[in-house]
Amino acid sequence: MDYTLVKHRFRNSVKDVQTLPGADTDSDHNLLFAEVRTRLKTIIRFHNSRPRLDLEKLYGQRQRVQDTLEEKIGAIECESGNVEVQWKSIKECVLDTISDLVGKVEKRARKPWITQ
């Protein structure tokens, strides 16, 4: 009777079942006490990751990227005393420059999808 109360998926996790006597009800049912050990599955969530940059192109165009970054960072006005605003503007300059000049790495298939 104890297995009829547990869904089929969790039947292996039921370790011990006992009846509790003395229920003060006018019913023919007995209360059951069950020990269940279940491990919940960990859910892997992928966060928005940064695009992978092509480092070979970056090393090849090192001087051009450096000059462009120096120009853009030098043009940023440091009037505001807020560090967060300054950091966001520097970060945007670096990411924009690298994405424009270098680009992302294209994903390569490990093996061909359709063979001859």
- Write out residues in the chain with pLDDT < 70, as ranges: 1-5, 22-25, 48-51, 78-80, 115-116
In a domain, 11, yes or no: yes
Render pLDDT for 70-83 as a digit per residue (tens, 0 to 9): 888 888 876 667 88
Question: Does 79 reside within a domain?
Answer: yes
Report the distance separating Cα 55 and Cα 59, nearest Å. Answer: 6
- Among 95, 105, 101, residue whose Cα is nearest residue 60: 101
Q: Total structural domains in the chain? A: 2
Read off the tokens for 48. Answer: 């928005």
Are 65 and 97 contacting, i.e. CB atoms less than 8 angstroms apart? yes
Question: Is 114 part of a structural domain of the chain?
Answer: no
Q: What per-residue confidence (pLDDT) applies to 80?
A: 65
CA distance 72 to 59: 20
Domain that holds residue 21: 2-35
The answer to whether 13 and 5 are in contact (CB under 8 A) is: no
